[in-house]
Amino acid sequence: MMDGARREKKRVGRRAILGALLAAGCTRRATSPPAAHAGRRAGPHDHAFEVYAVQDLPSDPRTSELSGATWDASTRTLYAVQDDTPAIVSLHPDSTFRRWTLGASVALDLPQPLDIEGIALVPEGFVVVSEEGPKLYEVSRAGKLVRELTLPPHFKEARRNKSLESAAATSDGRYVFTSTEVSLPRDGLPASDHKGMLLRIARVDRQTLAVEEHAYLSDASPPGRSDLGVSDLAAIDARTLLVLERAFTRGTGNRVRVYKVSLSDAAAGCTGEPALVEGRPVLHKQLLVDVAALAHGPLPPARQPQPTPLLENYEGIAIGPPLPDGRASLVLVSDDNARPEQTARVLVLAGPPGLLAPS
């Protein structure tokens, strides 16, 4: 038996040890996500966004290979780009934000070759990214080249067909963001089923042309013959982004998640670093949406195996306007890869406005 003083001293010591262990476990390092994370059921926070509307787009040359998305509040237009067709496609919602119609396209007059994957809206026009090059172009509303925004030289080392995939801009157009789809060779291997990959999110100041880089750790890829990448970004403000991670597994289908990150963590900055190494600090991620976990109404069966019929190859994300019921909206656009077994789709999600507040 031990007396009360000794017992209390031992309890205090145990609490101190437990506190130290918990603190160590919360340090943000580039370690693999727990194995359970890849296949877990979403918790209540994941359901803060819910399905508001789903529309499969009609078969039309303008709906083929849509990638990237941006919302223009002034004209109530959703813009997307087409991978292999040098054009910006316009989509127009009805008053309920549930039904979409195709509008006129804007032809892009840019140097070839092109593989357009991302689009962002700026006051003077658009910024589009091409995997070929890779290039970050400013274009006018008429699709004419205004200038090229220069990224650090190491972005040109991107893996083939896994280069610049995303684009986002702040509402005032001051800052533009982009990232490669997978890690640069100098920064390690692409994601595997037991470990995520390190990527660089670049922020370009359109006034000074200064470039900041921030280290981001993706999820591990799903088990099996899988491919995972960052497909798009959306900007809440100059320091807060949404990151769209999209994976595909042969015989199983897609996995699509949306994360919120803050670039304010100086430790995750990697501007000028020659290589990103495992264990370095990375941006903190807050899971906002796991599409596989979302409840939905009746939908036609997927044309290829999918975890749920709601899932498709979503490669574009945009922050839409407030919905008629006052909730915030996110709009996801899928790329059908010009294949009959895939579907071009617009998915609108609704959630509390506070989730899209700067952090």
Q: What is the pLDDT of residue 34?
A: 36
Percent of the chain whose pLDDT exceeds 90: 86
Q: With a cut of 90, say whether residue 31 has pLDDT above it.
A: no
Residue 11 lies in a domain: no
Q: Are 167 and 138 in contact (CB under 8 A)?
A: no
Q: What is the pLDDT of residue 140?
A: 98
Q: What is the pLDDT of residue 266?
A: 96
Residue 256 lies in a domain: yes
Q: What is the pLDDT of residue 247?
A: 98
Q: With a cut of 60, say whether residue 40 has pLDDT above it.
A: no
Overall average pLDDT of the 115-123 stretch: 97
Q: Which CA distances in Å does 46 have to 135, 174, 244, 289?
A: 35, 31, 14, 5
Q: Which domain holds residue 252?
A: 46-356
Residue 12 lies in a domain: no
**Residue 219's CATH number:** 2.120.10
Residue 207 lies in a domain: yes
- Total-model pTM: 0.87
pLDDT tier for residue 177 given thresholds of 50, 70 and 90 = very high
Residue 219 lies in a domain: yes
Residue 10 lies in a domain: no
Q: Which of 26-40, 126-140, 160-174 has the lowest mean pLDDT?
A: 26-40
Q: What is the pLDDT of residue 84?
A: 83
Give the pLDDT confidence of 311-338 residue by residue, as tens digits: 999 999 999 999 999 999 999 999 999 9
Give the pLDDT confidence of 47-101 residue by residue, as tens digits: 589 999 999 999 999 999 999 999 999 999 999 999 889 999 999 999 999 999 9
Residue 6 lies in a domain: no
Residue 116 lies in a domain: yes
Domains in the chain: how many in total?
A: 1
